[in-house]
Every structure is written in C-alpha cells, then in structure tokens.
Amino acid sequence: MSTINYTDLITRKLAGELSADEEKTLASWIAADPEHREIYRQYEKLWQEAAGYDVDYRPDLTAGLERFQAAMEKKPAKVVSIHRFNMAYKIAAIIIVLVGAFYTYTFLDPSYDGVEVATLAGETKMILLPDSTEVWLNQKSTIRYDWDVAARRVILAGEAFFDVRKVAGKKFQIEAAGSLTTVWGTSFNVKARDGSDLVEVTVVSGKVSLAHKDQAGLQQFLLPGDKGTLDRTSRTVSKTRNRNRNFLFWKNHKLIFDNDKLTAIIEELERLFDVEIQLKDPELGNCRFIGTIESVAVDEVLEILGTHMNIKSVRNGRQYVFEGEGCTGS
C-alpha cells in the first residue's frame, strides 16, 4: 500500500487543485486526530501569509508553493497535543476536550456513496468539512454529504452547530427534516429531532434564510439573536428573538443564569440532563442565582448551586431532592 503525502494534499488543497476523491481523503485525515486539524490550520495560516490572501484570489500553484516553502523555513508549523496544554492553545484545547471531539468519519450506510457521520447517546463530534466549515454534531444525530465544491450541501438529522467558512459566490445549504437553511458564511445552530414537527435554527453570527425545502421562495431571513422555527405540518416559518441563553450548552458545556429563580433553573437542568429534581420545601424555589457554571456533570452543577444557596441535593437514581435552610431573605 502506497503512503499518502498529506503535506502535498494540504498544499494542493490550498491552491484549489484537489480532486473530489482527494478532498475526501484529506478531510478524513484531518478529522482523525486533533493534531492533524492543528497542522492543517497552521499550514493554512502560513499559506495565507505567504500568498497575500484574498477571498477571490486563486493562487498559482508553482509560485504559491515557492512562497509557502519560504515561509515554512522562517516559521515552522506548531503541533499541539490535547494532553499537553500551553497558554497559546489552552482555550482551544479545552474546547476540544469538552465537545468530546473524537474526530472520526464513519461510513454507516453501505448503500450511501457519500460520507455519513453519526453520534451515539451522550456523544458529540466535531467535523471539518472539505471547505473548512466546522460542524459540531450533538448526541444522537447524523450528518451526510457527498461533497460538491460548486454546491455545498449537507443533510442533517438531529442537532448540530455550524461555523460556515465563507467562499466567494458559493452558498452553503443544510437540509433537515423538510427544511432548507441557506447561508453564505456564518455560525448557527440547527435542531431537527425525530418525532418533532418543528425545526429550529438559531443564529449566532451572519445572516441565514430558513424555508421548507419545497417552498424556498418563501424563506424567512434570520439575523444574529434570531430563532427561526419551521412547522413541518403547515410548512410555515416564524421568527422570534432567542431567549434561551443555554441553547448551546450541549456544545460548550456552559450554563448562564441571570438572577434566575431556582424553580426556573430546575426546569432548565431537567431538560438538559434528563433528570428529575424536586424541592423538599417549595419556598426554596424562590432562591436566585447569578453566574456561569462550566461543567458536564449534573452532580457538580447541583453542588455549585447548593453551595451558593445554602442547600444540598440528595440523589436517588435519576432523581434529586434539594433540601436545607435555603437563602433566607431572598
């Protein structure tokens, strides 16, 4: 078996010279290891510095390689292991760990000719598409694509966060449970769960359009902070402001509370962690909490809340009970 020269694939990708099969090979290599992704990022950065990056510019391969090699001699690429933290990459490494980034491409359906990636219960994955778009796939979700550089399109079942790489003149589309989301370069969350008649798209940055896939002309445009909802039965799209500060908890494992009552916090935790939480004394529900909690474990979250509210949680299987003196005077 011949050895693949991934350095050559990276440089030719940056020059726009890869075939469709080579795009898939390189994408699989990048997705297989966090260090591979960091290597690619460093090469991409050096290429842009060496070539004088322009979105509409297609570099000459020979001249670009010469500039690239010259830059490499002055500034070698850095390789970072998630097991060895340093200040320059601490935040990135922490994010990699939190999202459970086992960067694997899984071909689950033998009859499907493209790439299919799926997650199990309690598992999340980060996927780097051939155009460098980043996709964080939530648990029990699947994404499919048969990459076409001219028409960037993926199919989603479940929930995912997209950070779409802007490519001049080329849109990016997500088909999910009858909906069609179209973007040009932005970040947003798409939720299309089995058994639900609703598809939700929440925009973090940029501009997105949402429509039923058979009624693309009736799309609703969404801006940062907007949440679009498609009713699959009526095929109508509505737009509201997103009021859920924790809609990306599954991705960043960060809970944000702004003087929220414990009763409201409990509702949020029950939804996010699939547990039952009760109050031994209903008056405890009036206790309030302000702050941000970063954790993936419900026991740790409850312990932090309990410390601030002068209460404790007692666990019985998937059920928890808050008890104690509480926040007198709240």
Assign residue 145 a region (left: φ > 0; alpha: ψ between -120 and 50; beta: otherwise).
Answer: beta
What domains can be seen in the chain, in order of their start residue?
6-91 (no CATH), 99-241 (2.60.120.1440), 253-323 (3.55.50.30)
The contacts of residue 20 (CB under 8 Å, 6+ apart) are 147, 148, 149
Q: Residue 147 has what pLDDT?
A: 76
Q: Residue 1 has what pLDDT?
A: 39
* Six-digit token string for 183: 């973007």
| HSE-up (13 A, CA, CB side) for residue 4 | 11
- Among 169, 160, 166, smallest CA distance to 133 is for 166
Q: Which amino acid is at 121?
A: A
Query: Do the strands 198-205 and 187-192 form a parallel or antiparallel pair, or are they unpaired?
Result: antiparallel
Q: Residue 94 has what pLDDT?
A: 25
- Residues composing the chain: 330
* Six-digit token string for 266: 């409990």
Q: Are 271 and 246 in contact (CB under 8 A)?
A: no
- Among 258, 301, 262, smallest CA distance to 284 is for 262
The contacts of residue 234 (CB under 8 Å, 6+ apart) are none
**H or E segment to which residue 36 belongs:** helix 34-51
98-122 burial, b for 16+ CB within 10 Å, e for fewer?
Answer: bbbbebebeeeeeeeeebbbbbeee
**Rg from Cα positions in the chain:** 23
Q: Are 38 and 80 in contact (CB under 8 A)?
A: yes
Q: Are 51 and 58 in contact (CB under 8 A)?
A: no
Question: In this structure, what DSSP letter does residue 247 have?
Answer: T
Q: Describe the crossing of helices 34-51 and 20-31 by its angle, rounded to 10 degrees.
A: 120
Q: Which amino acid is at 292?
A: T
**H or E segment to which residue 268 belongs:** helix 262-273
Q: Which amino acid is at 146?
A: D
Strand partners of residue 109: none
Q: What is the pLDDT along the chain (330 residues), one digit of tens a residue?
A: 345 667 778 877 777 777 878 888 888 888 887 778 877 777 766 665 544 434 343 444 455 445 444 444 443 323 222 222 233 322 222 222 222 222 333 333 445 567 888 988 888 889 888 888 899 999 889 999 887 766 788 999 999 999 988 887 788 899 998 899 988 668 888 888 888 889 999 999 888 889 888 887 778 888 899 999 999 888 889 999 999 999 999 888 899 999 999 999 999 999 888 899 999 999 999 999 999 998 778 899 999 999 999 999 998 888 999 999 888 644
Q: Residue 45 has what pLDDT?
A: 63
